[in-house]
Every structure is written in C-alpha cells, then in structure tokens.
C-alpha cells in the first residue's frame, strides 16, 4: 500500500486515511506503510502461518522490518509493535541530528 502525508497549515493527514471497514490485515498494511513513510525503513506485515495442535490459528500476523521479523502477533500486538518501531526510529534519527557537539 502506498500512503502519503498531506501537509496543511492546520496540520496534516495521511492519504488514504485509515478505514475502519478494512479487514485487519489491510489496516496493519496501512500502518506499516505509514511507519515506512515516517522512518524510511522497509516495513511489511504478513499473515502468520501459526498452528496450534495442528489447527491453523487466524488473526495472527508477522511484522517484518528490513531483514528482521517478529511473530506470530495478535492484531493489537502487531499494531503496537509497528508504533514502537516508528517511534524508536524517529527518536534515534532526532537524537543523531540534535546531539551535542564536542567542546
């Protein structure tokens, strides 16, 4: 999914906006695209092929950041993980650009 940030004098927003009617995987794909936009990292979400007692469990996802992945995660845990990746990368970049120079 491709998203863009629209800047306006009163703030801004993401296009397309999150649609609550989307299925959970599409919502997570949207969130991953926003995190990619904000951080420049390669971020994706896939459905997890998670089995318990030989039965595939629905509603679990993998989050992939670069060459690292985590999963299976529930919808909420995946959403929170993506927020954490975005916040961490943004703060790391901010810290590098605002770091004090040696005396």
- Span 71-90, pLDDT tens digits: 999 999 999 999 999 999 99
Residue 8 lies in a domain: yes
Query: CA separation (Å) from 10 to 3, 6, 7, 61?
Result: 20, 11, 8, 35
Position 49 pLDDT exceeds 70: yes
- Cα–Cα distance between 28 and 61 in angstroms, integer? 9
Residue 78 lies in a domain: yes
Q: Please choose, from the candidates 68, 18, 6, 4, the residue with its C-alpha nearest in 3D space to the C-alpha of residue 42.
A: 68
Note the pLDDT tens digit of each residue in 12-28. 899 999 999 999 999 99
Residue 92 lies in a domain: no
Number of domains in the chain: 1
What global pTM score does this model have? 0.86
Residue 97 lies in a domain: no
Question: Which pLDDT value is given to residue 95?
Answer: 67
Which DSSP category does 21 fall into? T
Residue 56 lies in a domain: yes
Which residue segment(s) compose the domain that 47 sits in? 4-83
């Amino acid at each position: 999914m491709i998203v863009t940030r629209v800047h306006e004098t009163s703030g801004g927003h993401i296009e397309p906006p999150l649609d609550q009617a989307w299925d959970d995987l599409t919502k997570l794909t949207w969130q991953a695209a926003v995190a990619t936009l904000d951080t420049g990292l390669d971020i994706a979400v896939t459905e997890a092929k998670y089995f318990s007692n030989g039965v595939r469990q629905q509603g679990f996802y993998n989050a992939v950041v670069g060459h690292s992945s985590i999963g299976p995660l529930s919808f909420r845990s995946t959403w929170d993980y993506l927020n954490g990746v975005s916040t961490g990368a943004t703060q790391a970049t901010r810290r590098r650009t605002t770091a004090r120079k040696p005396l």
